[in-house]
Chains A and B, each alone.
Chain A
Amino acid sequence: MVYKLVWENLKHRPVRTLLSSLAIGLGVTMMLTLVGVGEGMLREQEARTRGVGADIIIRPSGSSVIGIAPPNINEKLVAWVLEQPHVAQSTGIVIYPLGGVSTVHGVDFEEVTKMSGGFTFLSGRPFKDAQEAIIDEYFAKEKKLKAGSTVKILNRDWIVSGVFRGGKLTRMMLPKKILQDVSATTGKVSVIYVKLDDPSKSAEVITHLKKTLPDYPIYSMDELASQFSVNSVPELKTFIGVVISLSVLFGFLVVFLAMYTAILERTREIGILKALGAGQGYVLGILLRETILLAVIGSAFGIGMSYVTQWMIATFIPASMTQAIVYEWWPIASGITLGGALLGVFYPAIKASRQDALESLSYD
């Protein structure tokens, strides 16, 4: 019966109900989108790294697997690694940051092709030893490029020689030698990818490599998943914390305002209920249920809207971002929002439950 009253009250003010739950849902969407983008991009990056086909990755000393690796490794190391036991192939790659999270990689196309099992070109051809670039289809879509277009990198024009199917290493690759020359990093690389003759020997090989290269972070592919996690991106963790706080604040303010005005509008209704013998608990229960219902509707909206943001990201900026749908965050985000909402209803509910029945039943 109480639910009926609560539901009728929500229906009675449809615009208020719609706007409040949308606003509540916005917090949920913010959380789901942020966590989803973080998760999506990490998974995507992990998949691309795996796509190289290496068994071991050597990074410059002082770098983490996720941050951008500065070109600090002497290229001579690539040849040295190749001479170590069980190493079948090694290739050095230069990573040049383009600002934000995007980078361009300078690669030896032959070596990367061999290690990864080959690229599939959707159009065009591999770059030659010239100012040429290859890009994946997401990058092509987002930047509206195709084979034959020109891209500006390091103040130079590069001709797009081909578009490859994504999922390997990165979205844009240039000839390594030329990138090294124009970025003044000749003889240096950012990472070394290592392929073994027997992948089960990774641990053994890593132990061996670390003897000579104690300062270099060296990862096996098995370690990648744990490296590509939200926990290894402190900025993302901080940002998620900020968005959670904002969502709580949001839920609090929206519900406070919505319920505060609601009880002012309903003094008469509350008076009637009290005259009928409703105690403080009964009135409190009505407002709490209404808040919970608003939060539930809002969360459903918020989850729905996270699919919209996913679609928008996939449609308009597929190369810059990827958003995963993070189901395990649905209850978390909804719970956080409900928490904010319950904080928001606290004061209005107490005020309403203490309201004097006669105040509103006076015969004006």
Chain B
Amino acid sequence: MTEPIIGIRDLRKTFRSGDVDVHALRGVDLAVERGEFLAVVGPSGSGKSTLFHILGGLTPPTAGTVMIDGQDLMKMSDSDRTRLRMKSVGFVFQKYNLLPTLTVGDNIKIARDIARVKGPLDKQFLEVLDALGITDKMDRKPRQLSGGEQQRVAIARSIVNHPAILLADEPTGNLDTENSTAVLGLLRDLNKRLGQTILMITHNPDAAAFADRIVHMRDGQLHAA
């Protein structure tokens, strides 16, 4: 049996806002296999995004064990987490979060620049660009693209450095049905063709159905479907 790419045991996260403690995660247990496409569903405020932010190294956990690709998140310093975001994790957000002043091509290039990756784009990634249908839009600015197109650019950018895991937080939240289906199809394609491990948060059961497995988040804890 191979080691899971994500191993979480009794993960807790407590926010202090003013005098009150907000327990966003109250003992999360989860194992994700390499190459899995996992959907996380659950009501608003249940802690889904918080879980992703911890996995992506955007915020430190309060307690528990989190292993990502063999690295122990609890032991990480700020700069270790920066490295984690640079090399091991790709993010896709509900808001596409492209840099507005840069072209599509430069939005992708800057992710490589940050990770200090040099040289031409690899063949595999070029195929992905083709599949995403944005090859001919490289010189456009984000505001000249539709929401669906922008989200596809964001997906391309998130995997350009071949991260171990791709975290997509409601990637179709701002899209209409047609664009949603296209984006979800592309994510599944990435998962099947490249074996890309994907974790996706969604409110939409139809969207969740694209995944191999669905877990439910409720009050800061995960439950199997």
Is there contact, CB below 8 Å, between A277 and B83? yes
Q: Which of B56, B79, B93 contacts A363 (CB 8 A)?
A: B93
**Interface assignment of A1: CB less than 8 Å from any CB of chain B:** yes
Is there contact, CB below 8 Å, between B101 and A8? yes
Bound-complex Cα distance A276 to B91 (A): 8
CB closest residue in chain B, given A279: B82
Is there contact, CB below 8 Å, between A276 and B110? yes
Is there contact, CB below 8 Å, between B115 and A277? yes
Which residue among B59, B83, B93, B94 has the maximum number of chain A CB atoms within 10 Å of its CB? B93
What is the distance, in angstroms, from A359's C-beta to the closest C-beta of chain B? 10
Q: In the assembled complex, which residues on chain A have CB atoms less than 8 Å from the CB atom of B59?
A: 358
Bound-complex Cα distance A282 to B110 (A): 11
For B, the interface residue count at a CB cutoff of 8 angstroms equals 33
**Interface assignment of A268: CB less than 8 Å from any CB of chain B:** yes
CB 8 Å contact bits of A275-300 with B (1 = contact, 0 = none): 11111001000000000000000000
Bound-complex Cα distance A271 to B58 (A): 10
Q: Which of A9, A275, A278, A282 contacts B56 (CB 8 A)?
A: A275
Which residue among A268, A282, A361 has the maximum number of chain B CB atoms within 10 Å of its CB? A361
Q: Which of B79, B83, B85, B100 contacts A276 (CB 8 A)?
A: B85
Which residue among B93, B109, B110, B170 has the maximum number of chain A CB atoms within 10 Å of its CB? B110
Number of A-B contacts (CB under 8 A): 79
Bound-complex Cα distance A363 to B98 (A): 14
Which residue among B94, B98, B101 has the maximum number of chain A CB atoms within 10 Å of its CB? B101
With A12-B101, A273-B114, A274-B85 in contact, do A4 and B79 touch (Cβ < 8 Å)?
Answer: no
Is there contact, CB below 8 Å, between A277 and B82? yes
**Interface assignment of A157: CB less than 8 Å from any CB of chain B:** no
Q: In the assembled complex, which residues on chain B have CB atoms less than 8 Å from the CB atom of A159?
A: none
With A1-B106, A274-B85, A275-B58 in contact, do A361 and B101 touch (Cβ < 8 Å)?
Answer: no
**Interface assignment of B113: CB less than 8 Å from any CB of chain A:** yes
**Interface assignment of B111: CB less than 8 Å from any CB of chain A:** yes
CB 8 Å contact bits of B78-104 with A (1 = contact, 0 = none): 010011111100010111011111100
